[in-house]
């Protein structure tokens, strides 16, 4: 089965006062159809930028190299107008903050109607019907009156549902969600996670879920890629990654988080040091200053991402192999 999205050798550079810095340094991954693909990492790992690059949403002066094959085309080589069509129709996007991702002055109906009329070329009445159906799909109660309402009349969780509905308007095959639940309360978050899961099953939708929250990832993702300092360090299916992590960073990350299902006195083991800032990435393996298993070669050689069965691993030392 061919992949829905194939990213190869993605590099992203951004302008700063000190000159251009590389925030994504050679990233490869594949997203299959009807799969939830989790992108995990802390701030500064490049996870958001790698996705913004695909959508042409980098800040002014930003540049991306590499390939991103989607639907027979390379997203990084498309013209602005073509990219706009792809993003409106074949790829949907949901951002973190539902307060700012919806237009405060336009009604829900207007915001939903726009992609329907532009990308699906629906008539006004057909768009209205379809909008109501979309709101129903994301379980907004009373869709008809919701269409006339404005974002400020809804709670955060509801707004995020509306944002998801808008993202689905063009009937995309891929939905990109960047920290979709981080700004939400935990009970509301649970609803959104379930919603995404149902949408994935009903529509055969693939989802790229970017989040630093491994718990959220563990509930819904099929496969998880872990990003650190602009590179992918490990990629495996959910259960394997969470229960048998092989990369020292993945292991350290899991150990530093509180696990609700583990006994209460399981200690939180912090990862010593801090994630490096873009532009100041260490040489060789970027994790080596914080790694408990680093050897001399780790400071000089950049570890390649190697396939081992279903797993991708960027650690030649591989100290955690059973």
Q: Residue 72 CB, nearest distance to another protein (Å)?
A: 30
Instruction: Give, as ranges, the residues between 158 and 217 that touch another protein (CB under 8 A).
Output: 158, 185-195, 197-198, 201-202, 212-217
Q: Is 278 in the site for another protein (CB under 8 A)?
A: yes
In the complex with another protein, which residue's Cβ is closer, 274 or 306?
A: 274
In the complex with another protein, which residue's Cβ is closer, 61 or 304?
A: 61
Q: Is 264 in the site for another protein (CB under 8 A)?
A: yes
Q: Residue 262 CB, nearest distance to another protein (Å)?
A: 8
Binding residue for another protein, selected from 31, 108, 242, 312, defined by CB under 8 A: 242
Instruction: Give, as ranges, the residues between 32 and 91 that touch another protein (CB under 8 A).
Output: 42-44, 59-62
Q: Is 42 helix (H, G, I), strand (E, B) or coil?
A: coil
SS3 of 51-92: the string is HHHHHCCCCCCCEEEEEEEECCEEHHHCCHHHHHHHHHHCEE
Q: Residue 21 CB, nearest distance to another protein (Å)?
A: 7
Q: Is 322 in the site for another protein (CB under 8 A)?
A: no
309 phi-psi bin (left φ>0, alpha ψ -120 to 50, beta other):
left
Binding residue for another protein, selected from 105, 243, 309, 322, defined by CB under 8 A: 243
Q: Is 272 in the site for another protein (CB under 8 A)?
A: yes
Q: Is 155 in the site for another protein (CB under 8 A)?
A: yes
Q: Is 241 in the site for another protein (CB under 8 A)?
A: yes
Whether residue 44 contacts residue 278, with contact meaning beta carbons closer than 8 Å, is answered with yes
Binding residue for another protein, selected from 46, 151, 157, 248, defined by CB under 8 A: 157
Closest CA to 272 of 252, 257, 286: 252
Q: Is 140 in the site for another protein (CB under 8 A)?
A: yes
In the complex with another protein, which residue's Cβ is closer, 29 or 228?
A: 228
Binding residue for another protein, selected from 72, 81, 104, 270, defined by CB under 8 A: 270
Closest CA to 166 of 90, 106, 83, 108: 108
d(CA 295, CA 62): 35
User: Binding residues for another protein, how many (CB under 8 A)?
Assistant: 74
Closest CA to 130 of 73, 180, 169, 156: 169
- Name the phi and psi angles at 71, rounded to 5: 55, 40
Binding residue for another protein, selected from 141, 307, 309, 322, defined by CB under 8 A: 141
Whether residue 134 contacts residue 169, with contact meaning beta carbons closer than 8 Å, is answered with yes
d(CA 242, CA 235): 11
Residue 22 burial (CB < 10 Å; 0-12/13-18/19+)? middle
């Amino acid at each position: 089965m061919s992949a829905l999205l194939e990213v190869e050798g993605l590099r992203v550079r951004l302008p700063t006062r000190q000159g251009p810095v590389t925030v994504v340094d050679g990233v490869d991954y594949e997203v299959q159809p009807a799969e939830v693909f989790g992108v995990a990492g802390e701030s500064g790992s490049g996870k958001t930028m790698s996705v913004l690059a695909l959508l042409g949403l980098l800040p002014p002066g930003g540049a991306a190299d590499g390939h991103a094959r989607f639907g027979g085309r390379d997203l990084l080589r498309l013209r602005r107008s073509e990219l706009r069509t792809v993003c409106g129709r074949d790829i949907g996007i949901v951002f973190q903050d539902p307060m700012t991702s919806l237009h405060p002055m336009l009604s829900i109906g207007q915001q939903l109607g726009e992609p329907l009329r532009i990308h699906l070329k629906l008539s006004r009445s057909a768009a209205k019907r379809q909008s109501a159906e979309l709101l129903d799909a994301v379980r907004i109660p009373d869709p008809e009156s919701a269409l006339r309402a404005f974002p400020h009349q809804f709670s955060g969780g509801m707004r995020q549902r509306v944002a998801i509905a808008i993202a689905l308007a063009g009937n995309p095959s891929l939905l990109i969600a960047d920290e979709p639940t981080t700004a939400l309360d935990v009970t509301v978050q649970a609803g959104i996670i379930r919603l995404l899961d149902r949408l994935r099953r009903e529509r055969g939708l693939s989802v790229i879920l970017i989040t630093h929250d491994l718990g959220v990832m563990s509930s819904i993702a099929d496969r998880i890629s872990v990003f650190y300092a602009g590179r992918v360090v490990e990629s495996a299916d959910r259960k394997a990654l969470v229960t048998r992590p092989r990369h020292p960073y993945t292991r350290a990350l899991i150990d530093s988080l509180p696990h609700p299902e583990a006994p209460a006195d399981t200690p939180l083991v912090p990862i010593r040091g801090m994630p490096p800032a873009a532009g100041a990435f260490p040489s060789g393996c970027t994790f080596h200053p914080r790694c408990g298993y680093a050897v001399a070669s780790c400071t000089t050689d950049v570890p390649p991402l190697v396939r081992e069965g279903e797993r991708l691993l960027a650690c030649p030392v591989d100290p955690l192999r059973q």
